[in-house]
Structure 1
Amino acid sequence: MSIKKHIPNTLTLLNLFAGLCALIHAFNGNYAEAFSLVCLGIFFDFWDGFLARALNAQSPIGLQLDSLADMVTSGVVPGLIVYKMLGDIQENQAQYTLTEDTYYMGVVPYLGFLITLGSCYRLANFNVDERQTDSFIGLPTPANALWICSLPIILEETGGDGFIFEFLSNPFVLVIIAFLSAFLLNAEIPLFSLKAKAFTWEKSKIQIIFLGLAAVLLVSLQFLAIPLVILLYVLLSVVNNKFLNKV
């Protein structure tokens, strides 16, 4: 096998390595570093598929490697981050009406791994679902990971005060987010792909509109924009689906 056949799989393994490093930082509470490494892993994840197609180096093992790497970077890391956020609430705050026995036994923090379970099922389903060749059904794991991994950074940037801090410091809210994440990953909601088939307005207008609005939000709100961008992605997909159904 020529060297070019190994290039996509090498990038996939770099995605996995970035995810493993992100795990270490997330476990130590270094959420900004974990987020950066997840972004790096997603970058490798994008280019491994692109190069596999460009170099005609697609293979069954590459498909399996891709899912296994995504499971760590976009599945285990966000689950661990919500686990840690719930654990931080346990250590630092006591104003909520959770009983000490329930919380200290670890029942509540471990609910963060619902995200990991949902990601695992979504990745397995993606590999066997022939409907997801040109678009997605359910929120892709990288998009979900970006949304979840941005939460502790948003929390830190609030400076320990204000509505957003109180909102994201509430264990009930974080548990709901974990459930919502697992649901969106596996919901029967068709979502458009960001891989434009042609660089024309007619064929790529939904992608162009999304990227333009996302850029405005990111420049204006920075990390706070990331959950809004994911919400925008889902809402635009729903609107796009209804528009297409009318044609």
Structure 2
Amino acid sequence: MKKHIPNFITLLNVLCGCVAAVFAVLNKLEVAALFVLLGIIFDFFDGLAARVLNVRSELGLQLDSLADVITSGLVPGIVMFQLLGMSRTGGWNADFSSGSWNLLAWDDVTLSILPFFGFVITMASAYRLAKFNLDENQVSSFIGLPTPANALLILSLPLILLYHNNNFLNGVILNQWFLVGLTILSAFLLNSKIELFALKFSNWSFKDNALRYIFIILCIVLLATLKFLAVPAIIAFYVLSSMIGNTGKKNKRNETS
């Protein structure tokens, strides 16, 4: 019986992803973000449950990635679709038939093709997760940006629009070229060769986990002060600090060799 507990938690992630996708299609991006966050929490606890119960399996690994394709792959793609649609009209109630990109038509429906570029994120996420399932080295670290982290980055954008309501930030986020550039950057980071540290503790020593402790403390401080604007800052720090740490490791290896 206990071997099914982690898989059931993973299926709750699938459910959250499906619900989030529905709300994202309806342009209720705040609710979509809430269910994505809930799905990511289930994604964390299914692995934890598998380790605690010692019931890790190949089925669980495959199911976990399939769940992430929905929650952390499909939903961010839909959200970027919506944001790109808003960038064509400059408002929350996007008219996807407006603008000069009206190249996709079916019966009485005419859509701008630009918003569909957002699904590059979904494609890149699916490709990353497929590679992850075949890679046995990503245990204490990740190669490329994890899909949940990328999902939080994309989902933070509509929350910044809703809760910060800053004209400058709104202008940047609803700029179509910024969104196109972010989509390309997102796809690159997901499948890059950058080694990123994982928040997995083999012990509680500060010396061995200094970067992890600093990262957690910084996340708490930034979230308390910057709210949703903290999310892009945290992701940027995560990537940059990992790159700096990797450079330090390489220098130490060169000195000892």
Instruction: Compute the TM-score of the two structures, normalised by the length of structure 1.
Output: 0.93
What number of residue pairs does the alignment pair up?
A: 241
Alignment-derived partner of residue 131 in structure 1? 137
Considering fraction of residues, name the structure with more helix: 1
Alignment-derived partner of residue 120 in structure 1? 126
Give 3-state SS (helix, strand or coil) of 2:207's partner.
helix
Alignment-derived partner of residue 171 in structure 2? 166
User: Aligned to 2:117, which of 105, 111, 118?
Assistant: 111
Alignment-derived partner of residue 28 in structure 1? 26
1:181-220 counterparts in 2 under 5 A? 181-220=186-225
Q: Supply the distance in 2 between the matched residues of 1:175 and 1:99 (Cα, whole angstroms).
A: 16
Instruction: Compute the TM-score of the two structures, normalised by the length of structure 2.
Output: 0.90
Structure 2: gaps spanning 5 or more residues: 105-109, 253-257
Q: Supply the distance in 2 between the matched residues of 1:29 and 1:175 (Cα, whole angstroms).
A: 19
CA distances 1:209-233 after superposition (whole Å, capped 9, x unpaired): 1111111111000001001100110
| Alpha-carbon shift at residue 150 of structure 1 (Å) | 0.9
Report if aligned partners of 2:141, 2:197 keep a CA contact under 8 Å in 1. Answer: yes
The sequence identity of aligned pairs, in percent, is 46
Alignment-derived partner of residue 155 in structure 1? 161
| Alpha-carbon shift at residue 101 of structure 1 (Å) | 3.6
User: Aligned to 2:13, which of 12, 15, 18?
Assistant: 15
Q: Supply the distance in 2 between the matched residues of 1:63 and 1:228 (Cα, whole angstroms).
A: 30
Give 3-state SS (helix, strand or coil) of 1:202's partner.
coil
CA distances 1:38-93 after superposition (whole Å, capped 9, x unpaired): 11101010110111111111111111110000000000000000001111233446
Give 3-state SS (helix, strand or coil) of 1:130's partner.
coil
Q: Supply the distance in 2 between the matched residues of 1:56 and 1:197 (Cα, whole angstroms).
A: 16
Q: Supply the distance in 2 between the matched residues of 1:100 and 1:144 (Cα, whole angstroms).
A: 27
Q: Supply the distance in 1 between the matched residues of 2:148 and 2:209 (Cα, whole angstroms).
A: 21
RMSD: 1.6
Alignment-derived partner of residue 244 in structure 2? 239
Considering fraction of residues, name the structure with more strand: 2
User: Aligned to 1:51, which of 49, 52, 71?
Assistant: 49
